[in-house]
Structure 1
Amino acid sequence: MNWTQIPLGPLQTNAYILQNESKDAIVIDPGGDGQALLNWLKSEKLKPLAILLTHAHFDHIGAVDDVRTEYNCPVYIHKQEQDWLQDPAKNGSSRFLGTNGIRINEADQIINEEKTIKIGTFEFTVFETPGHSPGSVSYYVESEQIVFSGDALFAQSIGRTDLPGGNHQQLLDSIHKKLLELPEETIVACGHGPTTTIGSEMDSNPFLTGF
């Protein structure tokens, strides 16, 4: 399996595209610039099988319907945020984009608990990692030693918790009890900025020391 990081949308949110040898693909957090993303997928001759959302903030969902309409693929979201997709107040787009609020069609698959999701040849372990938002999840691909953490954990930082539903202590608990329990060599594919590793954040993330 190969994966590609593509910053998209007004906040340059990292979308991740995973692909296998058959050119099947999984799209994680397509945050915006829908036509540019579609052009890239077509240029790579990829066929998305599903869209996985780490959470429903506007900068992570902006191109969802572009991809879903083009490829007729299902969208996965945690139950805590399934109604955020249609609500600009909850997904934050009314606050940051004003009258140009983002409304996305309902998700096709609702994540109700931590579990393993199998889509074609792709397999993800879903961890509930709330704190940045109540329905935040992380997707772990053990075979590739990578976790897609959304806005829970960043290189030398953690997600903001001052938005509706955010909770600083809950985020710290999620990081320590879920993400930092992964092998230290695990790559952390963050929602913004560069990738990092679990080991690096354990050693030097200033927000996690002294917890």
Structure 2
Amino acid sequence: MIIDKIVEPYFGENIYILIDEETKKCAVIDPGGASEKVLNYIKKNSLDLEYILLTHGHGDHIGAVNYIKSKTNATIVAHSDEKELLNDNRKNLSYSMHCGPQELDADIYVNDKDKLELGNLKLSFIHTPGHTKGSMCIRVNDDMFTGDTLFAGSIGRTDFYSGDYKQIEKSLKKLSKFEDKVKIHPGHGPSSTLGIEKMSNPYM
């Protein structure tokens, strides 16, 4: 398994490319921009883009989804509670961002504990509302993509549409039950581990 990262220049948003080395199947997680960089990476490494996975529906995480979908026909996956946000460019804030108004529907809407296979990799989805109603984390082996739910040393804000501080508190409690060794890959900033965050993140 390979995890690579491309940082979107406007909001410093992390776009992850998750690769099953054996089958060359890959997924792009939260493509908020840098669409040509993502597509060039996939082409250069002879990868087969199977999924576009969304931890949540804010514009800085979905800005390049429609374009990448049009070029690859990859399957878009999001949490079922995020449909409203994805469908409305004002609620997802993209109307005021460099990417321009973005509205889309996922091809697959998942729920808590649902699973998905990417080549030989097994992905599981963890519903973590709070930053948005349909925020989710994606776990594969001992790696977890936490979107804007959990950052190294911080958490995502809850004052946007469908955000809820009490919900994010519950979600953080849920994440704290996972093993310390799990490496987290957040939507912004550096990676960390759940063990480090449990010890040092004041919100955990």
Q: Same fold (TM over 0.5)?
A: yes
Q: Using a 3 Å threshold, how does the CA distance of structure 1 residues 206 and 112 change in structure 2: closer, same or farther? A: closer
Which secondary structure does the structure 2 equivalent of 1:138 belong to? Answer: strand
Paired residue for 2:145? 148
Q: Residues 74-153 of structure 1: matches in 2 within 5 Å? A: 74-94=75-95, 96-97=96-97, 101-142=100-141, 145-153=142-150
8 Å contact kept, 1:5–1:17: yes
Any stretches of 5+ residues in structure 2 without a counterpart?
none
Does structure 1 retain, via aligned residues, the 8 Å contact 2:63–2:94? no
Does residue 161 of the first structure (1) align with residue 158 of the second (2)? yes
CA distance in 2, matches of 1:184, 1:79: 28
How far 1:9 sits from its partner (Å)? 4.9
Aligned position for 1:33: 34
Amino acid in structure 2 at the alignment position of 1:153: L
For residue 15 of structure 1, what is the amino acid of its counterpart?
A: I
Aligned length: 203
Q: TM-score, normalization: structure 1?
A: 0.90
Q: In the aligned structure 2, how far is the partner of 1:19 from the partner of 1:110?
A: 22
2:189 pairs with 1:188: no
Does the 8 A contact of 1:28 with 1:53 survive in 2? yes
SS state at 2:190 partner: coil
Q: Once the 2 structures are TM-superposed, how far is the Cα of residue 129 of structure 1 from its aligned partner?
A: 0.2
RMSD: 1.6
Amino acid at match of 2:41: W
Structure 1: unaligned runs, 5 residues or longer: none
State the alpha-carbon separation in 2 of the partners of residues 151 and 167 from structure 1. Answer: 13
Could you tell me which residue of structure 1 aligns to residue 2 of structure 2? 2
Cα offsets for 1:159-185 (capped at 9, x unmatched) = 1011111111210110112x1111101
After alignment, is 84-93 or 11-20 more displaced?
A: 84-93
How far apart, CA to CA, are the structure 2 residues paired with 1:76 and 1:97?
Answer: 22
Query: 1:139 and 1:33 mapped to 2: Cα distance?
Result: 21
Distance of 2:105 and 2:114 partners within structure 1: 21
Distance 2:67 2:100 in 1: 16
Kept in 2, the 8 Å contact 1:86–1:102? The answer is no
Q: Secondary structure at the match of 1:91?
A: coil
- Which amino acid counterpart does residue 149 of structure 1 have in structure 2? T
Q: Name which structure has the greater RCO, CA cutoff 8 Å, separation 6+.
A: 2
